[in-house]
Amino acid sequence: MIEAPEWLCELKPKSERKEKLWEVGAEGVDVGKRNKTAASVVGKTLKSLPKKLHETIGWNGIKGWNQANKKPLDEKELRTVFDSIKDRSDSNDKTETPVPKKIVNMVLNEKPISFHDHLNTSFVSIRINDHQEIYPMMSQQFKQWIVRKYWEQNKQTLNTEHVKQAIDLLISIAIHEGEEKKLENRVAGTDNAIWYDLCNKDWSAIKISSSGWEFATNPPIIFRRYKHQKPQTTPIAGGSLSQLLQFVNIADESQRLLFLVYLISCFVPNIPHPIPILYGSQGSAKSTFMRVIRRLIDPSSLELLSFPTRKEELVQQLSHHWTPFYDNVTTMPEWLSDALCRAVTGEGFSKRELYTNDEDMIYSFRCCIGINGINIAGTKADLLDRALLFGLERIKSENRKDEQTFWKQFEENCPLILGAIFEALSRAITIRPTVKVKELPRMADFTLWGCAISEAIGSTQDAFLVAYRTNIGRQNDEAIQEHPVASAIVAFMQDQNKWAGTSTELLYLLEDLAISEKINIKQSTWPKTPQLLTRRLNEVKTNLETIGINIRSGTFQHKRMIEITRPINTVDTVVPNNTGNDDDDESGNKIPTLSNLKTDEELLNEIGL
């Protein structure tokens, strides 16, 4: 019996291999079984060897096996069997393209535009019928498109892992090879036009420029969409903004002008927009008012929102909605008020990505926020500086409409109202470069656009400025009335025009006064320490200046001093426990005043009233 080579014995456990392959040769193979047995031995032999050894070790081994038969096969016939099995093996060895690679190739064959935003979120723009659609690569829409497209081309289903592997590669391509693009929500601006996303299934938009407005079936890649967004009605030219006023509960003409200017300004991108704060008793249609604005600007399945308890959730709301409107707000914590101010001005929010590493994600956006409640919920001075106050009266019963009738009439008028808004915005784009305002308030960009819009809708720039400045005055009054320290300072300076002393002294005096003025000093916003008093004074310093009360702090004789002045002529400066001259304190020392405080920039040697 011929011994089998060692490599052939490794095909199976040694106890089996010699018996099955080589003992057959030793005992002999019947003439009718030689071809079948040879085919089996060749197949197993070739499978056990690298391809490059098939013609050397493999062929020689098969010839050795053949010689072990009682009557070996003719070598030419054996070679025919060997080549046949070898060709079949070579065909089977051709590695089929992995499914994830097939998916990637399929996507790339569609000639998509892959890109990423400033957060390295990857997107793809794909041609669907006669328009482009933009999907985040991690979105369900993109995954579903892949599954459907693969079925159309291969009539095969895909498992989740294959889709995930393909998308991971496509994401890498988008981040490392694609451009960085800025995507906007609902409203966007280019060099010479404003774009408005209709959010319809055709992905069309409205282009507004100084020459008018028009439909765009293939707008630039500038919009990102979110699931809550609903398609906007198709605008129609020839409408009037007066059609809108029947759906909002505002009777005052200056307030109506302010409302229309605000509404149209919400279609202007890249500027801070003031926060409309609607307040009034039950039955004043505050929520309906906000729904009307929302449906005109940013239709959504989530028309009115509630404030979350965590900043991370708030940031997600604000970044996903162009007009996040909050309903029935009663109170507002300080962190929330500060966050809304940041969202108005477009300052960034930092959120640690998935809380698993030290890489911060910076969310930077602007949006048009709105708030309503029975009372003015946002009373912090910084927030009120960025607000528009609209006080609504209770609607009389004879003027009320049922919901179905109201919204039916609104939907009938909405296309014409929207067209009128775009026409006014087009005129305002032309007017805006000519607007000049000498003294701009805090919301400067809104003021300039407001002047242009006011003129564009048939009013005047002066009329808007008067209405807006009146509203700012109301904001200021509210800020002072709702701030306990500001209210106490107003009362404190009622009968004097100058006071100077330390923050400790001032806190003592204000606490005494607050009790008589029935100001609650137990509330959280009342300062418990002199240091907190200084901080609270800084919060309302600007508001107090508008009513003639000026606060200045500085250093005098190594002490931090506060001076408060009010230009009235009734009573000279009152200094507590002052038994000396008007210019002296209890010890006969001169009292520091605004003119002689050592500020952070200067030191005056001469002091005295």
Residues 6 or more apart whose Cβ sits within 8 Å of residue 387? 274, 275, 276, 277, 378, 475
Q: What is the pLDDT of residues 215-274, one digit of tens each?
A: 999 999 999 999 999 999 999 999 999 999 999 999 899 999 999 999 999 999 999 999
SS3 string, 324-363, reads: CEECCCCCCCHHHHHHHHHHHHCCCEEEEHHHCCCCEEEE
What is the pLDDT at residue 97? 80
418 inside domain: yes
- What CATH number has the domain bearing residue 451? 3.40.50.300
Tokens read off for 199? 């959010």
Residue 80: CB atoms within 10 A of its CB come to 14
- Does 21 have pLDDT greater than 50? no
pLDDT attached to residue 91: 64
Question: pLDDT, tens digit, for every residue of 354-409?
Answer: 344 455 667 778 899 999 999 888 778 889 889 999 999 999 988 899 999 999 99
Separation CA 386–CA 27 (nearest Å): 101
Measured CA angle at 67 (ends 65, 72), to 5 deg: 110
**What amino acid is encoded at 438 in this protein?**
K
What tokens does 249 get?
A: 């509960």
Domain boundary among 146, 165, 180: 180
Residue 396 CB neighbour total at 10 angstroms: 8
In a domain, 297, yes or no: yes
Is 154 strand, coil or helix? helix
Residue bearing the bigger pLDDT, 482 or 443 = 443
The DSSP line for 525-556 is: TS-SSHHHHHHHHHHHHHHHHTTT-EEEEEEE
Grouping H, G, I as helix, E, B as strand and the rest as coil, residue 178 is coil
In the structure, what pLDDT confidence band is assigned to residue 350 with cuts at 50, 70 and 90? low
Quote the CA–CA distance of 519 and 163 in Å, as a whole number.
Answer: 64
What phi and psi, each to the nearest 5 degrees, are found at residue 459?
-95, -155
Q: Do 325 and 449 share a domain, yes or no?
A: yes
* Boundary residue ending a domain (477, 510, 525): 477
Residues 42 and 151 in one domain: no
CA dist., res. 539 & res. 484, Å (int)? 11
pLDDT in tens, 84-128: 888 877 666 556 688 999 999 999 999 999 999 988 999 999 999
At residue 536, does pLDDT exceed 70?
yes
Q: If 0-12 CB within 10 Å is exposed, 13-18 middle and 19+ buried, where does residue 324 land?
A: buried
Q: Are strands 387-391 and 194-197 parallel, antiparallel or unpaired?
A: unpaired
Within-domain flag for 50: yes
Mean pLDDT computed over every residue of the chain: 85
Max mean pLDDT range (17-31, 279-293, 588-602): 279-293
Question: How large is the average pLDDT for residues 437-459?
Answer: 96
Instruction: Check whether residue 323 and residue 469 sit in a common domain.
Output: yes
- Range scoring the smallest mean pLDDT among 190-204, 531-545, 590-604: 590-604
Q: Are residues 292 and 345 in the same domain?
A: yes
- Count of domains forming the chain: 4
What pLDDT is recorded for position 574?
Answer: 31
Asked, for residue 226, whether it belongs to a domain, the answer is no
Calculate mean pLDDT across residues 52-69. Answer: 85
Report the alpha-carbon distance of residue 135 to residue 145 in Å, rounded: 10
Residue 249 has a pLDDT of 93
Confidence category of residue 31, pLDDT binned at 50, 70, 90: low
Residue 202 CB-density burial (10 A; 0-12 exposed, 13-18 middle, 19+ buried):
middle
Whether residues 77 and 115 share a domain: the answer is no
- 214 occurs within a structural domain: no
Q: Is pTM, for the whole model, over 0.85?
A: no
Quick one: 42 and 115 in the same domain? no
CA-to-CA separations, 90 to 8, 13, 47, 56, 95, in angstroms, rounded: 20, 26, 10, 16, 10
Q: Is the pLDDT confidence value at 201 over 80? A: yes
Residue 228 domain-assigned (yes or no): no
For residue 232, being part of any structural domain is answered with: no
* Same-domain check for residues 495 and 586: yes
The token duo for 479 is 């800020």
pLDDT in tens, 123-147: 999 999 889 999 999 999 999 999 9
User: Domain boundary residue among 93, 114, 129?
Assistant: 93
Give the domain range for residue 427. Answer: 242-477
Q: Which residues are bridge partners to 373 per DSSP?
A: 279
Statement: residue 501 has pLDDT above 60? yes
**419 plus 544 within the same structural domain:** no
C-alpha to C-alpha distance for 598 and 552, rounded to whole angstroms: 11
If asked whether residues 470 and 526 sit together in one domain, one would say no
298 touches 323 (CB < 8 A): yes
Are 369 and 473 in the same domain? yes
Put the strands of the sheet holding 179-180 in their side by side order: 131-136, 122-128, 113-116, 179-180
Within a domain: 15 = yes
Pair 108, 33 in one domain: no
How many C-beta neighbours within 10 Å does residue 267 have?
24
For residues 489 and 428, membership in a common domain is answered with no
Which tokens go with 603? 């030191």
